[in-house]
Copies of this chain bind each other. A is one copy, B any other.
Amino acid sequence: MIQTTSVENYLKTIFHHAGIGNNAVTTNEIAASLGTKAASVTEMLKKLSAQKLIRYKKYNGVTLTDSGTKQALLIVRKHRLWEYFLVEKLEFSWDEIHEVAEQLEHIQSEILVERLDSFLENPKFDPHGDPIPDKKGIIKKTDLQKLIDVTEKKEAIVNLVTDQPELLRYLSKIGISIGSKLRVIERNTFDQSMLLLINGKNKVQISAEIAHNISVQL
């Protein structure tokens, strides 16, 4: 079944908020995430439920069904493939791509997705380090840990950052990108901020807020 852009955005939002455990997602979370009001969300949840894309019991939040998950994964696949395309082929920077990918992810054409995937040589991660689901919706999972949890003196490689333009521009400014080698020189126990050595060159102090949005591999 072909869905409207709106339905696709609801599915994607529920998918992202449910996390790996497919936990129940609340009406308010969805509303906040989509920039709509709770009343509008309730209305849409009834429609999604009628289509068996979600399990919905009044006042109890929602979970995606297998069908809903499958559709959400396809949208995520398209979003991330397009982001990869924009960076690798069209020379966009990583903070410019999300908004455009939000539009491109809704283009309906199976052949387009598969040809794009081939053209890009089947990338496994998007420019922010998020895994790209394969045609069947399977996501490669890597074991990452948040930079905020890395102990003093340890070294780590940046593998994933949160896709938020402001954060991304800031990271670019201080010289952090996917693949950067970080050494945690010092952790401030008061505010959780940390002093980093980036690629063995520059020392930079980052807030806990920033450290929460960077994931690394030791």
Given known contacts A89-B119, A119-B89, A119-B90, is B111 in contact with A96 (CB within 8 Å)?
Answer: yes
Which residues of A in the span 174-211 have a Cβ within 8 Å of any Cβ on B?
A: none
Give Cα A14–Cα B104 distance, bound, in whole angstroms: 26
Chain B residues closer than 8 Å to A119, beta-carbon distance: 89-91
B100 touches A112 (CB 8 A): yes
User: Within the complex, what minimum Cβ distance (angstroms) separates A32 from chain B?
Assistant: 24
* Prevailing SS type, chain A contact patch: helix
A115 touches B99 (CB 8 A): no
A109 touches B99 (CB 8 A): yes
A92 touches B115 (CB 8 A): yes
A115 touches B103 (CB 8 A): no
Which residues of A in the span 51-110 have a Cβ within 8 Å of any Cβ on B?
A: 86, 89-92, 96, 99-100, 103-104, 107-109
Q: Which residue of B lies closest to A92 (CB)?
A: B115
Chain B residues closer than 8 Å to A171, beta-carbon distance: none
Chain B residues closer than 8 Å to A111, beta-carbon distance: 92, 96, 100
Residue from B100, B107, B115 in contact with A109 in the complex, judged by beta carbons closer than 8 Å: B100
User: Within the complex, what minimum Cβ distance (angstroms) separates A94 from chain B?
Assistant: 14
Chain B residues closer than 8 Å to A167, beta-carbon distance: none
Chain B residues closer than 8 Å to A108, beta-carbon distance: 103
A residues contacting B by CB (< 8 A) are 86, 89-92, 96, 99-100, 103-104, 107-109, 111-112, 115-116, 119
List 5 A-B pairs, minimum CB-CB distance, nearest first.
A90-B115, A100-B109, A103-B107, A90-B119, A100-B112
